[in-house]
Amino acid sequence: MSLKVVTIVGARPQFIKAAAVSRAMLERPGEIREVMVHTGQHHDTNMSQVFFDELQIPAPSYQLSVSGGGHGAMTGRMLAGIEDVLLKERPDWVLVYGDTNSTLAGTLAAVKLHVPVAHVEAGLRSFNQHMPEEVNRVLCDRVSTLLLCPTQAAVDNLAREGREQGVHDVGDVMYDVALNYLDQAREKSRILERLGLTERGYALATCHRAENTDSADRLEAIFAALADIAEQLPVVLPLHPRTRMRLVEHGLEHYLRRLSVVEPLAFLDMVALEQAAKVILTDSGGVQKEAFFYQVPCITLRDETEWVETVELGGNRLVGASRQQIVSAWSHVMQSPGVVQGMPYGNGQASNLVVQALLGAC
C-alpha cells in the first residue's frame, strides 16, 4: 500500500516549492500518494491560481478558503479546517513548507492528532522574534518529525537547539524550480516587451513583510529610496495587495507615481523579470534566493536574513529600511555588481531527496 501524504499550502512561495516536490511524488506511482490542501491564505488569481496553472501543480483536493483577519483568527480557522481533513484522510505524513500561518496551522493540526510532520525549509533562523515568520518556523521545527533543511547552516541552527534526530540537508527545492523553469520563462514570457523594458535596464522591487508595511516610517523610507533610484533607473514594482493598502493608510501612495507599478505577477513573468534585472530590491526570502540563483545583485530591505549564504557569498546586501543605506547600496551595486561564489543550495535534486526521506522514514 502506498504512503499517503497530506500537503498543506496556502501562499505563493509554497505553491512554487510544492510544484517540484509534487512532481517528484508523481514520478513514484504506487509508492507515495499526495492529497493537497489549499488553505486559501493567498487566494486571488494573481497570487494563487496562476501558479497552479503555470507550474502544472495538481489541483488541490481541498480548498479551505481561509484568508484575511489577524494571525490568531486566520490560524485558528485554518487549524479547524485542516483537522477535519486529517480526520477524514488519515495520512501517514503531513508535509508543510516554510513559515506562514498555513505552515503553523498544518503542523499543529497534525501533531495534535499524532500524525508525523515533515517540514521543508526547516532550520532557517532570522533570530528576530518580532517576525511572525520566525515564530512560525521555530514552533514548527520544535514538533516536526522530519526536518528537511535547505542548507548546512540550517542544520547547524537545529543542532544548536538540540535537534539532530530526523534532520536532513536535502538542498533547496526552490533551486530545483529555478533550474526547471528558467528556460521556459525566457521562451514563454513577454513581460519585458509588455512593460517596454530592456535586459539589465531596470531595477525590480518587492515589499510585503509586516515589519516594513506595518511601520509608516520604514515604509516611507523604503519607498522614498525606490523613488530616488527611479530618477536614474526604472523601478518595476509588482505591488502586494497589503502593501498597497498600507501605503494608502499611511498617506504614502504618492511615491507610486514615480515607479512602474504592476499587479502581482504570474510565476514565469516574475522569473523573466528577475533574471533580466540590473538589480533586485526586496524583503522577500524567496526573491532573495531567486536573485542569487540567477546571479542578479540583490539588496535586501530587512535588518537580517535567513538566507545568510547569499550575503556571505557576495550576492546580497542587507540594508534595513534606511533610505540612505538603500540608495548607497544601489549606487555601489551599479559600480561594482560583484561575482557570486559557490552554490550552497544543493544540486537541483532536493525534491527527490524530500520524497526519499518520507519513504525512508515510514
Length, in residues, of the chain: 362
Nearest to 226 by CA among 270, 263, 258: 258
Integer Cα distance of 124 and 204 in angstroms: 25
Number of Cβ within a 10 Å radius of residue 68: 10
Q: For residue 208, indicate whether it is catalytic.
A: yes
Residue 194, all three cell numbers: 509588455
* 3-class state of residue 57 by DSSP: coil
Residue 49, all three cell numbers: 491560481
Number of Cβ within a 10 Å radius of residue 113: 14
Helices assigned H by DSSP within 149-215: 152-160, 173-188, 191-195, 210-213
Say if CB 222 and CB 247 are below 8 A apart.
no
Tell me the C-alpha to C-alpha distance, in Å, between residue 69 and each of 64, 129, 249: 15, 21, 17
The residue annotated as part of the active site, out of 42, 43, 168, 208, is 208
Contacts of 317 (CB under 8 A, 6+ apart): 297, 298, 299, 300, 311, 329, 332, 333
**Catalytic residue annotation:** 208
